[in-house]
């Protein structure tokens, strides 16, 4: 179970990523980045901003 206010993150290199399977859930306030494309769920695909 992921605690409230945290994210469970997975890397794109499943065999070689250090992700939440190894380091645990990440507090949302520690996440740095931006989103440009939403692609899941498929019915909600969209580009955000320019």
Q: Does residue 21 fall inside a structural domain? A: yes
Instruction: Identify whether 10 is part of a domain.
Output: yes
In a domain, 1, yes or no: no
More confident residue, 29 or 34: 29
Inform me whether the pLDDT recorded for 7 exceeds 90: yes
Sign of the torsion formed by the C-alpha atoms of 11, 15, 17 and 21? positive
Which of the two residues, 16 and 27, has the higher pLDDT score? 27
Query: Is the whole-model pTM more than 0.85?
Result: no
43: in domain: yes
What is the span of the domain harbouring residue 40?
A: 6-47
16: tokens are 């070689």
Query: Domains in the chain: how many in total?
Result: 1
Using CA atoms, how far apart are residues 32 and 11, in angstroms rounded to an integer? 15
Phi/psi at 44 (nearest 5 deg)?
Answer: -110, 20
**Is the omega angle on the peptide bond into residue 41 within 30 degrees of 0, that is, cis?**
yes
d(CA 7, CA 25): 5
């Amino acid at each position: 179970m992921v605690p409230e206010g945290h994210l469970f993150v997975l890397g794109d290199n499943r065999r070689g990523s250090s992700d939440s399977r190894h380091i645990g859930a990440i507090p949302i306030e520690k996440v740095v980045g931006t989103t440009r494309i939403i692609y899941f769920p498929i019915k909600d695909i969209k580009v955000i901003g320019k």
